Amino acid sequence: MLGILCIALVLMSGMVQAAHFHAPGGADHDCALCVAAHHVAHTTQLITLDISSLPVTPLTAACSLVRPRRAVFFRFFSRPPPSGSALLA
């Protein structure tokens, strides 16, 4: 019911804006719909910040780990085959 009410309000406000009029001669300054329709967005100056970045030197040298290299890498875990008693169970 709340969704139907919201849709009805949106449709009703659209019809009111389309059917809205005043006496010939211009917009009424006391009408909220006319004030909102003729309101102009104000432009501003672009704000720029002068930020400089300086390179940072490390205080200590990077430590490297020495790992032995292998020719073949096996990523999956390999386990021995099940014992004979497990096959009989």
Residue 3: pLDDT band with limits 50, 70, 90 = very high
Residue 5: pLDDT band with limits 50, 70, 90 = very high
Which pLDDT tens digit goes with each residue over 31-69?
877 777 777 777 888 888 777 777 777 777 777 777 777
CB distance 29 to 35 below 8 Å: yes
For 76, the token pair is: 């999956």
CB distance 66 to 53 below 8 Å: no
Can you tell me the mean pLDDT for 13-18? 82
Q: Where do we find the tokens 């040298």?
A: 61
What pLDDT was estimated at residue 11? 93
